[in-house]
Structure 1
Amino acid sequence: MPTLLFSLPLLNLLLLLLLSLSPIPVCRSEFTVVLPDSSALVDGPQTGRSDRARTDPDEQRAVYAVMAATGNAWAASIRDVCRGRWHGIECMPDRDGVFHIVSLSFGALSDDTAFPTCDPARSTLPAAVLALPHLRSLFFYRCFAGNPQPIPAVLRENGHVGPIPAELGNLTALRVLDLHGNNLTAPIPSSLQRLARLRLLDLSSNTLRGRIPQLKLPGLNVLDLSRNALRGPIPGSLGRFGSLLKLDLSRNRLTERIPDSLGDLGALILVDLSHNSLAGPLPTALGRLGSLRALILSNNSMASTTIPGDLFSGLRNLIDLILSDMDLEGSIPESIGDLPSLRVLHLNGNKLEGSIPRSFRRLERLSELRIEGNRLSGAIPFARETMWRMGRKMRVEGNAGLCYDAKNGSFEGIAAVSAMNYCEGEGSESKMDAAGESAKRVAPRKGDHPPSVSISSARDHRRRGFHRTVGVVAGFLFSICFFSL
């Protein structure tokens, strides 16, 4: 993944902030939170001491099994787990006065946390957890990392192996399903499409195979299937996820073209389809994503594909545009210069020809430009200030025909910064001093920081000029004084 000014950690923070505005909790790095909804329950504080209310017997047996599997067999001595509950279990009654388990929590978050502890070397999570239909929160902290096993529930970064169980589709009230960072294999079960209330689905960083199923999850906000071994096309059904904010299918083995239906996801903030084998042409339908901040399609070989000029007509909020290493041909569209928020632009590693559009001069927020390894020629349209701001983040090498127009302002040290020379016939208008000529002949070296080197060179030049001026004035005054004697 390239380093973006509107960085992906910052973008993920924005997505999580948007999610936090709804009643969905945010899963954090070493534990799991699951929140479905159970509207049939009495949604209010309960003491669990009612004389007539009792725990549902099937759910009580399931709790006993879960507790025993995590090394907490002492729970079996409690006759009614909701009436004699501990810190880490929460219950609510229904309208008939039957208690249902809505929350189970495990693991020592700190010395002050009284959740039941787990034995990480021997703890397992039995399928009995699926017999808790009213469960709203299932929380584990460092319970399974030392004992990888096939999983019967929703856990992230716990070292689990094997397939995703199809039975997860029975948890129809589930809001968050986060299984990333395990060793899960096999295809994604189509039963997940029954999770109609799901808001976040993260299966990234596993070894999942097969095709992405035709899911229908209209309330989904985040879909992350990156870093797997998924094959086949991107399903057109993703276009029905009208609430989707983040779509990350990067680093898989997906093929065929990007479906036009993705243009219907008007709420999208990030699209990352990089490092696949997707084919062209690029769909102009992506231009309808008016809320999009980052579009990352790099490392998809799309030979003989051009960049549509009207692709960017509606992307006024785009900050990061990454189209590198795609074998794109043709010219760079002028319309990219009409993206007022653009800060990062990567077009490197393609076969683009012609000149850099003069409209790029309007990209006043641009701070990183990579166009190296193309067939571009002509003058770079940026003003001197823009080039200083980008410094080494402006990469143009491998385009033998590019040059800097001195009409944009004399740019001392241009070769050291950008590996370019002045355009033919322009150098005479703005003579470069000896230091500038030296910099012009020096090829950029890895690790250099050209702005500081060039600025230092400019300061030295000004200092030498000042000393020469002082010397001339002093000599002149000395001559007057000498001959007046």
Structure 2
Amino acid sequence: MDTLEARVSYEFFKQLLLLLLLMAPLPPSSSEFTVVMPDSSALVDAPQTGFSDSARTDPAEQRAVYEIMEATGNGWATSIPDVCRGRWHGIECMPDTNDVYHVVSLSFGALSDDTAFPTCDPARSSLSPALLALPHLRSLFFYRCFTGSPQPVPAFLGRLGPTLRSLVLRENANTGPIPAELGNLTSLRVLDLHGNHLSSSVPPSLQLLRNLQLLDLSHNQLYGPVPELNLPSLTVMDLSRNLLHGRIPTSFGRWDSLVKMDLSRNRFSGSIPDSLCDLQNLVLLDLSHNRLAGPLPRSLGGLRSLTALILTGNPMSSAMIPKDAFAGLAALNTLILSNMGLQGSIPESIGELGSLRVLHLDGNKLNGSIPKSFQKLQKLTELRVNDNQLMGPIPIGREMLWKMGKKLRLYNNSGLCYDMSYGRYEGIESMSGISYCETESKDAASARSHTTKHYLSSTSRDGGHGRPSSLSSSGAARKLHLAQEELVDLIAPLLVSLLVFL
């Protein structure tokens, strides 16, 4: 995982963890994917620290659990006389007011060595219709259970009843369509079908899931346009890595609770809907690697909570970046606009994004100079403007260069260079792909009367691959002398400090 993906993943899971904590008033579930919610049934919604001597599991539910466990290759469960009293990691039960225990959660699959629900026999596991005999079921979780025997998502899951809050079928190699019957689960908060081989359109029946808070259909083979949906409670939506096409529905901009929207790596076309800019709580917006056309919405600044905006790989070849497109994005720390064919100059307003840490503008047709306002980006740790048509001195001081190191990429431009007035920085040509500016101040020139010719410019590279050519022998001598001067600059303050304390 590269730096950007790690940072985006961290921000997303931080928000998701907060969401789950707010959603679950019961004791924490044993799975990050499983959310168990209270309902208005006769169950006693309180932590159970012990069992009544007379309480027993509902007999019909006990038989159903035996069948479900047998269908997943866990026949050992039949040796347990009472599945709620002798419960295992992966089954949760709650009593009713008559001291009868009911199954409310079933989970299968080893998430890690520390979190292992009953594993499935991949060669013969299946989802048993006996699930329908669990009328109080709130959470159903299967992880990597059917990989050896791929099968469709059964339509009978749509009859699990009004108590179900969380349905997770994750990385199970499920095939075929998303059953339209899932729209009957009107109390559902979490629907996670990530990482399967589902191949259908997104069913319009999902419109009925008005209480849904997390929808993850990513990493499948879904195709076709996405229907207009009205999911007012949705907080996380991930449709990434599918074959979805058509325009992004404008209804997505009406989900005021949305924190994350990831539509990356599909085939969406048209322009970015202005309605998306009304999502005041949105933290991450990833529309990368689609076929979206320009121009960029001028109202992007309305996304006040946005921390990551990723649009890379969309062919906006005739678009320019509006001067005020990002004004107001005070929380933004990641802005990725790579390989979009953007033209014109870099707006000064980007330099006003004081929280910015990662900025990628590489692989476009941007010209002019890097704005002087970039001097204000004191938190910047990664900057890519390579493969453009930029020229002139970079407005970045020596300390910032040192902090970014090889995460600063400037090569393959018309004539970017480093201004020595910011202080000498040996090795910049190999680190970022540019050399010193040709014109230096008179003071700098007189201070280095030994100076030989400057390093090669950024447009003269070995083989045209963005790497500077090797230095001449006189250049090597200059390099050694500058290194000696750097050493003196480093040691002198230490000696002064020592004398003060003595």
**Equivalent residue for 1:318, pick from 332, 340, 347:** 332
C-alpha distance 415-172 of structure 1, shift in aligned 2 (>3 A): same
Contact 2:191 2:212 in 1 (8 A): yes
Distance 1:112 1:410 in 2: 52
C-alpha distance 184-354 of structure 1, shift in aligned 2 (>3 A): same
Contact 2:55 2:101 in 1 (8 A): no
Distance 2:396 2:359 in 1: 14
Distance 1:92 1:201 in 2: 27
Is 1:14 aligned with 2:28?
no
Q: Deviations over 1:330-365 (max 9, x none)?
A: 211111000111111111111112221111111112
Q: Which runs of 5+ in 2 are unaligned?
A: 158-167, 489-502
Q: Which amino acid aligns with 2:240?
A: S
1:470 aligned partner: none
Is 1:285 aligned with 2:299?
yes
Q: Deviations over 1:351-403 (max 9, x none)?
A: 11222111111111212111122222222211222223223222222222323
Give 1:170 shift.
2.1
Q: Deviations over 1:423-477 (max 9, x none)?
A: 44326552468798575479588899x9xxx99986764549999xxxxxxxxxx
Contact 1:319 1:342 in 2 (8 A): yes
1:135 aligned partner: 137
2:161 aligned partner: none
**Equivalent residue for 1:372, pick from 377, 386, 394:** 386
**Equivalent residue for 1:328, pick from 333, 342, 348:** 342
1:182 aligned partner: 196
Contact 1:38 1:173 in 2 (8 A): no
C-alpha distance 254-43 of structure 1, shift in aligned 2 (>3 A): same
Contact 2:391 2:415 in 1 (8 A): yes
Equivalenced residues, count: 459
Contact 1:246 1:271 in 2 (8 A): yes
Larger Rg: 1
Contact 2:246 2:270 in 1 (8 A): yes
1:35 aligned partner: 36
Give 1:272 shift.
0.6
C-alpha distance 113-313 of structure 1, shift in aligned 2 (>3 A): closer
1:253 aligned partner: 267
**Equivalent residue for 1:360, pick from 374, 380, 387:** 374
Q: Which moved more, 1:196-205 or 1:13-22?
A: 13-22
Distance 1:248 1:330 in 2: 28
Contact 1:36 1:174 in 2 (8 A): no
Distance 1:27 1:374 in 2: 50
Equivalent position SS for 1:4: helix
User: For residues 140-179 of structure 1, what are the structure 2 equivalents within 5 Å?
Assistant: 140=142, 142-152=144-154, 154-179=168-193
Contact 1:32 1:155 in 2 (8 A): no
C-alpha distance 352-194 of structure 1, shift in aligned 2 (>3 A): same
Give 1:138 shift.
1.9
C-alpha distance 434-320 of structure 1, shift in aligned 2 (>3 A): farther
User: For residues 96-111 of structure 1, what are the structure 2 equivalents within 5 Å?
Assistant: 100-106=102-108
Is 1:244 aligned with 2:258?
yes
Distance 2:432 2:117 in 1: 58
Q: CA RMSD in A?
A: 3.8
1:479 aligned partner: none
Is 1:214 aligned with 2:223?
no
**Equivalent residue for 2:433, pick from 413, 416, 419:** 419
Q: Which amino acid aligns with 1:211?
A: P
Q: Which moved more, 1:300-309 or 1:418-427?
A: 418-427
Contact 1:413 1:439 in 2 (8 A): no
Equivalent position SS for 2:13: helix
Contact 1:34 1:177 in 2 (8 A): no
Distance 2:23 2:477 in 1: 55
Equivalent position SS for 1:230: strand
Give 1:35 shift.
3.4
Equivalent position SS for 2:4: coil
Q: Which amino acid aligns with 1:206?
A: N
Q: Which amino acid aligns with 1:196?
A: R
Is 1:262 aligned with 2:263?
no
2:124 aligned partner: 122
Equivalent position SS for 1:403: strand
Distance 1:314 1:45 in 2: 45
Q: Which has the higher contact order (CA 8 A, sep 6+)?
A: 1
Give 1:418 shift.
3.2
Contact 1:416 1:439 in 2 (8 A): no
C-alpha distance 187-288 of structure 1, shift in aligned 2 (>3 A): same
Q: Which amino acid aligns with 2:239?
A: L
C-alpha distance 164-426 of structure 1, shift in aligned 2 (>3 A): same
2:69 aligned partner: 67
Distance 1:462 1:51 in 2: 83
Contact 1:257 1:280 in 2 (8 A): yes
Equivalent position SS for 1:284: coil
Contact 1:5 1:343 in 2 (8 A): no
Contact 1:211 1:231 in 2 (8 A): yes
Give 1:284 shift.
2.1
Give 1:187 shift.
0.9
Equivalent position SS for 1:231: strand
Give 1:244 shift.
1.4
Give 1:216 shift.
1.9
Give 1:203 shift.
1.2
Equivalent position SS for 1:155: strand
Give 1:232 shift.
0.8
Contact 2:461 2:467 in 1 (8 A): no
Contact 2:343 2:366 in 1 (8 A): yes
Contact 2:23 2:35 in 1 (8 A): no
Q: Which amino acid aligns with 1:203?
A: L
Equivalent position SS for 2:224: coil
Contact 2:311 2:336 in 1 (8 A): yes
Contact 2:56 2:82 in 1 (8 A): no
Equivalent position SS for 1:311: coil
Q: Deviations over 1:200-233 (max 9, x none)?
A: 2111111111122222222222111111111111
> Normalising to structure 1: TM-score of the pair?
0.81
Distance 2:116 2:380 in 1: 51
Give 1:86 shift.
4.0
User: For residues 369-448 of structure 1, what are the structure 2 equivalents within 5 Å?
Assistant: 369-426=383-440, 429-431=443-445, 437=453, 439-440=455-456, 443=461
C-alpha distance 466-379 of structure 1, shift in aligned 2 (>3 A): closer
